[in-house]
């Protein structure tokens, strides 16, 4: 069963006008086939999969060159057969770090991640996760042949829900022979995925202002068709700025901008579903780009919307 809907993204063009330049279908609640008889349910569908490679350290011995492209672990699983090089073999003792950009993941009851590890041998590897790509939390390994990982061990001794965006895997020297030594990874996906939407501030606001533009209201209104497919959720709106201006000014500006987006979404989604809203404001504390360049500053001026579905969303639908 497929639930398909469309998010409309708006980006700032080279002219002063905004233009709608991309429509992307989001295919949620999707099953992926593994082997002959097994299927894996991904609540966020194709959004569930890793988006970019942060680092890759080949092990020793390393795989043949055609099997050593780390980008082959990104996106939806596309494994066909072992000797087709559409996956990455990280080598014996190798290490791979990936990032999720349009989604993150949390701890839910049961497994939270799934690794599409393929090949004639199922090689074990350690798994670490991170919120920011700097501080890492170990969550165990895949000894025993299971590709499911529960991240509950990373949640000990905290009283809030972490959202993670990075995964690091380290091969455990389980199988170090042949053309593809080490773990063979076709895809990495979040079962406990949360949706993340980034909006550039210059889409939403005039310079140094926090009242929403009319074009911004249209962009935010377009989200309701998609969010209607997640009828119950917690929605977090985060405000961010560049490093120009004082810390106090940027904190206040990011707070006011986050509140403006929240207020509009509350009205827009009032009749769509059951949502709770929270705002966070960081000023210049969490840059995602270089604050010394014009382009970097533009990227840092943003509002991030994180949608954490209710636990019912993660349950597989009954097949007809």
- Say yes or no to pLDDT of 143 above 60: yes
CA–CA separation, 13 and 16 (whole Å): 7
CATH at residue 216: 3.30.1330.60
5, pLDDT greater than 50: no
Domain-located, residue 136: yes
C-alpha 37/C-alpha 28 separation (Å) is: 22
Please state, in angstroms and as integers, the Cα–Cα distance from residue 214 to each residue in 18, 114, 157, 202, following that order. Answer: 11, 41, 45, 12
Residue 17, domain member (yes or no): no
| Nearest residue to 166 (alpha-carbon basis) of 263, 279, 51, 290 | 51
Q: Integer distance in angstroms from the first to the last C-alpha of the chain? A: 8
**pLDDT exceeds 60 at position 244:** yes
> What confidence category does residue 26 fall into, taking pLDDT thresholds of 50, 70 and 90?
low
Question: Of 165, 306, 164, 314, which is closest to residue 235 (Cα–Cα)?
Answer: 306
Asked if residue 265 and residue 207 are part of one domain, the reply reads: yes
Domain end point (choices 129, 160, 191) = 191
Instruction: Give the largest CA-CA distance in the chain.
Output: 61
Share of the chain above pLDDT 70, in %: 91
Same domain, 229 and 266: yes
153 and 261 both lie in a single domain: no
What is the domain count for the chain? 2
Q: Give, to the nearest 10 degrees, the angle between helix 214-221 and helix 247-268.
A: 50
| pLDDT tens track for 87-103 | 999 999 999 999 999 99
Instruction: Please report, for the domain that includes residue 68, its CATH number.
Output: 2.60.120.260
Residue in 31, 74, 80 with CA at minimum distance from that of residue 49: 74
Cβ–Cβ under 8 Å, residues 128 and 200:
no
Same domain (yes/no): 78, 128: yes
Average pLDDT for 10-37 = 54
Checking if the pLDDT of 21 tops 60, the result is: no
Split at pLDDT 50, 70, 90, the class of 183 is: very high
Residues 135 and 53 in one domain: yes
Q: Are residues 101 and 206 in the same domain?
A: no
Do residues 158 and 260 both lie within one domain? no
In percent, the amount of the chain with pLDDT more than 90 equals: 66
Query: What does the pLDDT read at residue 23?
Result: 32
What does R_g of the chain's alpha carbons equal in angstroms?
21
User: Which uninterrupted H or E stretch holds 275?
Assistant: strand 274-281
> Residue 147 and residue 125: Cα distance in Å, rounded?
10
53 lies in a domain? yes
Q: Is 51 among the domain residues?
A: yes
- Is the predicted pLDDT of residue 226 greater than 90, yes or no? no
User: What confidence tens digit (pLDDT) does each residue in 294-313 have?
Assistant: 899 999 999 999 999 999 99
Question: Over 90: is that where the pLDDT of 72 sits?
Answer: yes
Give yes or no for residue 114 having a pLDDT over 70.
yes
Strand (E) positions, 180-301? 184-190, 193-200, 232-240, 274-281
pLDDT for residue 255: 96
| pLDDT at residue 10 greater than cutoff 50 | no
Confidence of residue 83 (pLDDT cuts 50, 70, 90): confident
**Is a pLDDT exceeding 80 seen at residue 18?**
no
pLDDT at 16: 30
More confident: 13 or 124: 124
């Amino acid at each position: 069963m497929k639930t398909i809907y469309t998010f409309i993204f708006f980006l700032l063009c080279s002219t002063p006008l905004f233009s709608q330049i991309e429509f992307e279908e989001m295919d949620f609640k999707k099953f992926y086939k593994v082997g002959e008889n097994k299927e894996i349910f991904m609540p966020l569908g194709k959004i569930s999969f890793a988006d970019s490679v942060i680092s890759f350290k080949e092990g020793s011995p390393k795989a043949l060159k055609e099997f050593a492209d780390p980008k082959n672990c990104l996106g939806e699983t596309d494994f066909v057969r072992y000797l087709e090089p559409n996956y990455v073999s990280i080598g014996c003792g190798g290490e791979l770090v990936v990032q999720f950009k349009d989604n993150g993941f949390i701890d839910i009851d049961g497994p939270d991640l799934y690794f599409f590890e393929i090949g004639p041998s199922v090689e074990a590897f350690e798994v670490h996760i991170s919120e920011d790509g700097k501080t890492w939390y170990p969550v165990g390994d895949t000894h025993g042949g299971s590709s499911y990982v529960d991240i509950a061990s990373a949640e000990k001794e905290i009283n809030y829900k972490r959202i993670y965006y990075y995964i690091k895997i380290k091969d455990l020297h389980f199988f170090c022979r042949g053309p593809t030594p080490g773990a063979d990874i076709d895809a990495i996906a979040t079962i406990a995925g949360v949706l993340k939407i980034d909006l550039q501030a210059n889409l939403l606001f005039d310079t140094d202002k926090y009242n929403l533009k009319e074009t911004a209201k249209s962009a935010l209104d377009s989200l309701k068709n998609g969010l209607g497919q997640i009828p119950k959720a917690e929605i977090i709106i985060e405000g961010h700025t560049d490093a120009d201006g004082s810390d106090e000014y940027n904190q206040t500006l990011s707070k006011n901008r986050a509140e403006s987006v929240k207020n509009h979404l509350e009205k827009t989604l009032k009749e769509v579903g059951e949502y709770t809203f929270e705002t966070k404001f960081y000023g210049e504390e969490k840059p995602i780009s270089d604050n010394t360049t014009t382009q970097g500053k533009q990227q840092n001026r943003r509002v991030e919307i994180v949608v954490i579905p209710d636990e019912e969303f993660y349950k597989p639908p009954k097949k007809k």
